[in-house]
Amino acid sequence: MNKRRLLAIIKKEFIQIRRDRPSLAIAFLMPLLMLFLFGYAVTTDVNNMPMAVLDYDHSPSGRLLADEFIATSYFTITAHPDNYQEVRALMDSGKVKAALIIPEGYESSLKRGEKATVQFLVDGSDPLFARTAFQTAGILAQVESQSLLAQAAAGAGRPQPQGPAVDIESRAWYNPGLESLKFNIPGLIGLIMQNVTVMLTAFALVRERERGTLEQLMVTPIRGSELMVGKLVPYMLIAFIGTAVILAASTLWFQVPVTGSILLLLALTVIFLFFALGVGMLISTIAKTQLQAMQMTVLVILPSILLSGFVFPRSSMPPFLQYLGDIIPLTYFLEILRGIMLKGTGLADLWPDVIPLTLFGVGVVVLASRKFRKRVE
Amino acid sequence: MKQESRDLGHERFNSRQTSVPKGDPPVPPAIVVEHLKKQFGALVAVDDVSFTVPAGTIFGLLGPNGSGKSTTIRMLCGLMRPSGGSGQVLGLDIVSRAEEVKSSIGYMSQKFSLYEDLTVMENIHFFGSIYGLPQAEIGSRYRNLVERMRLGGRERQLVGTLSGGWKQRVALACAFLHQPRLLILDEPTAGVDPVSRRLFWDILAGLAADGVTILLTTHYMDEAESCHLTALMFRGRLQAFGPPADLIRQAGLRTLEDVFIHMVGEGGREVE
């Protein structure tokens, strides 16, 4: 690699990026915008669901159960209807998303050691609402039952209840994977940064091809590697600043702290960005037009949301899909982000992710350099 | 030979052959092409083309669109690998030493392939550095080129805001910055106003006088008649080759345009 040629390309790219306002906006504003968009989408949908409580029993045990719902902060009791018709009207109008109906004799059933049944209604039109509501209700029932069982065991004269003391009737299957904001934010950082960086470089070469400047460059002594690295360096800097900014927003605004070493996280971010930018560059060498580059970018980004483990755990996927996930930069970076941010994991435990991330990064950039032919055919 | 090139009148070339001129020291020809062929699937874009261009010549490659001019040029630049035949540019084989060819020639592709979002100076510095020239050297060469290419006063203007004639001269300056002995220009004057075209040709004549060989393609017959040597391509084949005046006389016609139309018509009948 010739230093003078490399520097010439880096300088040229910086000048062009500086004059290209839309690209600058994508690089700096889009990550923040997406973080806030997704960050809030994830938090608000399970918080403060309006709920109605129809209490036929008017007992301390019934009120205690309703309070348990409020304590989860998933529900806010906004209505106290007097009969079932009113509950129906509230649900129909959408004023409440859930309703708890405590039947007459709830407390007395509990006292007798019999199974007490309450009804829990959920607006199922939004499956995410419904699932979270069901999960919460299920957990509450378990907790309530256990505490009552404990009380029963302590109280000598009371008869031993058979099975769970409180049964909340709900017909949804139970999924213990309640995803919290804390778990989501590190993944979001990785996902957003991967998509933005792949998009940034996917156009880097295609644009020159379309404008005809690439043909001019091909008839110069320039080398493929100089062109690739020269184009990567400026985008690397931009993407790095972008990552630092959304990392700051995550800790300061969303209160997701970095438990482990920030320096280690930033260092590994560089490796991740190198891989992601390399993937974009490879797309750019293969694509003939900007449209093709865009389509290929989508082809990479969409499966990576699922295959990287961002939504579903990779361990439960069939081997073929796991292999596919192995070649996605986000897969490794997710482990690194979640590890360092949430668990405070150190480099010693992250090697299994750092090594493939580095190898694939170098591999993809070398491949892009090789793929770039100084010929038109 | 330099003396000859200074005058663009074609009568002087009547007696001149396409081979290397006699006298010492013998200057090797700038371009030698033998049985060059390029095939894209079933389409033969360039078919058995042979010619020799002596150093210091302005060589015009003529032909209708799709006749194989650009493909020939791209093979000479090392941008395309020939399907058959061979070629040497400045004594370098266009296949085995394609990269050396690229460093030694100056090339202007069909569009003015400059960075429109860079200023004139930034383009010059970029291409200068790509050719490995130090900053100071680029600066001093550029000052000379400003004079030669009539580029004064717009150094800090974005290339995208320049007129066609200006873009063309900036592109030529970028292609000539590393002082190549051969310039290959693909339709350099397409879409340029007549005054700028005249100016451009004055610049080319000056370069040729200094011994620079120039290969260009054009659709303008007045430009073709100003070339020392012309070749007429049609459907991938070389139909005629020689100084313009010779071509006109051999065909028994009055102008090069007549020759062009006659040959294209004849070739058309041949193929059909």
pLDDT in tens, A275-285: 999 999 999 99
Q: What is the mean pLDDT of residues A222-233?
A: 92
**Residue pLDDT, tens place only, A350-375:** 898 999 999 999 999 999 988 888 88
Cα dihedral B139, B141, B145, B148 sign = positive
Say what percent of chain B tops pLDDT 90.
Answer: 58
Query: What percent of chain B has pLDDT above 70?
Result: 88
CB-CB: which of A4, A374, A376 is closest to B129? Answer: A4
- Nearest residue to B72 via CA among B268, B239, B227, B215: B215
Tell me which residue in A2, A8, A221 faces B126 most closely, judged by beta carbons. A8
pLDDT of residue A272: 94
Strand B105-108 vs strand B182-185: parallel, antiparallel, or unpaired?
parallel
Amino acid A168: pLDDT: 54
Q: Which amino acid does the sequence have at A158?
A: R
A216·B113 Cβ contact <8 A: yes
B103 min Cα distance to partner chain A (Å):
5
Q: What is the pLDDT of residue B241?
A: 92
| A12, A212, A221 ranked by CB distance to B126: nearest | A12
Mean pLDDT, chain A, integer: 83
* Domain parsing of chain A, residue ranges: 13-42+180-371, 46-169
Residues A345 and A343: their CA atoms lie apart, in Å, by 5
Dihedral, B93, B95, B97, B103 alpha carbons, nearest 10: 100
What is the per-residue pLDDT for A21?
86
Q: Which pLDDT band holds residue B18 (cuts at 50, 70, 90)?
A: very low
Helices (H), chain B: 2-6, 69-76, 98-104, 120-130, 135-148, 164-176, 194-209, 221-226, 244-251, 256-271
CB contact under 8 A, B111 and A16: no
| Selection from A368, A352, A19 nearest residue A198 by Cα | A368
How many A/B residue pairs have CB atoms within 8 Å? 80
Instruction: Please give the angle made by the CA atoms of B88, B271 and B80, to the nearest 5 degrees.
Output: 30
Q: Report the CATH architecture of A46-169.
A: 3-Layer(aba) Sandwich (3.40)
- pLDDT, one tens digit per residue, over A191-227 is 888 888 898 889 888 999 888 899 899 999 999 889 9
Average pLDDT over residues B146-153: 84
Contact residues, chain A, for B107 at CB < 8 Å: 216, 219
- Evaluate if pTM is beyond 0.90: no
Is residue B86 pLDDT above 60, yes or no? yes
- Least CB–CB distance from B132: residue in A5, A212, A217: A5
- Looking at beta carbons, which residues of chain B come within 8 Å of A215? 79, 109, 113
Task: Give the domains, in start order, of chain B with CATH numbers.
Answer: 2-6+27-114+181-271 (3.40.50.300)
Which range among A55-59, A116-120, B4-8 shows the weakest confidence by mean pLDDT?
B4-8
Structure tokens given for A299:
């082809």
Nearest chain A CA: its distance from B47 CA (Å)? 17
Q: How confident is the model at residue A171, as a pLDDT?
A: 34
Nearest to A16 among B99, B110, B115 (CB): B115
pLDDT of residue A43: 52
**Subunit contact A377:B102, Cβ cutoff 8 A:** no
Question: What is the per-residue pLDDT for B17?
Answer: 41
pLDDT in tens, B157-188: 999 999 888 999 999 999 999 999 999 999 99
- Closest C-alpha among A233, A368, A353 to residue A296: A368
| A241 CA: distance to closest CA in chain B (Å) | 24
CA distance B254 to chain A (A): 38
Place A306 in a pLDDT band, splitting at 50, 70 and 90: confident
What's the gap in Å between the CA of A16 and the closest CA on chain B?
Answer: 6
